[in-house]
Amino acid sequence: MQINRTVRLTAITAAIVAIFSTVAVAGTTSAEDAIWSAAKQHRYVFVTFYKNNDSASKTMLADVKSIQGKLANRADFVSVNVADKADRAVVTRYGADRSPMPLTIVVAPNGAVTAGFPRMINKNNISGAFVSDGTAEVIKVLQDGKMAVVCLESSRTNHNSECTATARALKSDSRLGGAVEIVTIDPSNRSESTLMKQWKVDTGSRDAQLVVAAPPGKFIGKFDATASKDTIVASITKAMSGGCCGGGSCGSGGCK
């Protein structure tokens, strides 16, 4: 089962943009500065790449301009000519030199690409580009080519220490090649409700839970907080080789 519609943007975006490893750092170009400035202010940024002054590019730039006013309180906007050598770093980072033109991507404050619109913008899907902080964290980990081990816990859940300890053990487990990053999400946070529903998480549970997802957007499984590291590794191995947890959930005893 793919992770969910929102996090599946990772898989969709992977076909449009290159996976990048870090949030944009301050550069010398206007595009770099715009992306960095947006991140510092916890704002999204729409980056429109174009190559020629053709009708498709004109249309996309016009469409972006038409939504700019409506989203001014949430996002910044920048356009990049892929032929401009001054913006080569930005073009390369997002794989725009290998993508259909024109292209608009949406970058979250943490650097995750949450949406990609090649050739034309579907205005009906714009709202879906704005995701929860937890979702953005998961997307970023997957786009970095790593596995996301997500601890679903809060001050109200039991077994938090066990969940965190297991996550850390997975991160250091040599069988996973160090390709694990830990994300912590409060399942009772209303802003994370869409993700919790898509992961079929019982947000009323008094126990912490652990979710594992792999690139580009594969849902590995949902585990009890007390599940052992070896049980989870075994389930990951099964899922990545076509086993049961890729389409279901896992408990302390494995796939179910």
| Shared-domain flag, residues 222 and 176 | yes
pLDDT of residue 87: 86
Choosing from 95, 129, 163, the residue where a domain stops is: 129
Considering Cα of 12, then 17, then 21, then 24, what sign does the dihedral take?
Answer: negative
Provide the 8-state DSSP code for 241: T
* CATH, residue 238: 3.40.30.10
- Per the CB < 8 A criterion, the answer to whether 112 and 141 are in contact is no
What is the residue range of 84's domain?
9-129
Residues 107 and 48 in one domain: yes
Q: Is residue 139 a part of any domain in this protein?
A: no
pLDDT at 29: 55
Same domain assignment for residues 115 and 168:
no
Last residue of a domain, one of 102, 129, 156: 129
pLDDT tens, the chain, 256 aa long: 334 444 444 444 444 333 333 333 333 457 888 888 899 999 999 999 998 888 899 999 999 999 998 999 999 999 999 988 888 888 988 888 888 899 999 999 999 999 999 988 887 788 889 999 999 999 999 999 999 999 999 999 999 999 999 999 999 999 998 899 999 999 999 999 999 999 999 999 999 999 999 998 889 999 999 999 999 999 998 888 764 444 444 333 334 3
Q: How far apart are CA 157 and CA 143, in angstroms?
A: 29
Rg (CA), the chain: 19
Q: Is residue 204 part of a domain?
A: yes
Residue 125 shares a structural domain with residue 157: no
Is there a single domain that holds both residue 101 and residue 173?
Answer: no
* 192 shares its domain with 123: no
pLDDT at 132: 95
Q: What integer pLDDT is reported at residue 149 of this predicted model? A: 97
Domain contains 49: yes
| Residue 134 counted as domain residue | no
Q: What are the structure tokens assigned to 23, written together?
A: 């949030």
* Same domain membership, residue 179 and residue 234: yes
Domain final residue pick, 97, 129, 161: 129
Is 141 part of a structural domain of the chain?
Answer: no
Do 121 and 167 fall within a single domain? no
Same-domain check for residues 95 and 150: no
- Whether the bond between 215 and the residue before it is cis, its omega within 30 degrees of 0, is no
Say whether both 23 and 124 belong to one domain: yes
Asked if 196 and 179 touch (Cβ cutoff 8 Å), the reply is no
209 within domain boundaries: yes
- Residues 207 and 109 reside in one and the same domain: no
Max intra-chain CA distance, the chain: 59
Q: Does residue 137 form part of some domain?
A: no
Q: Are residues 53 and 155 in the same domain?
A: no
**How many domains does one find in the chain?**
2
Axis crossing angle, helix 160-172 with helix 229-240, rounded to the nearest 10: 60
Q: Is residue 1 part of a domain?
A: no
Question: According to the model, what pLDDT value does residue 97 have?
Answer: 85
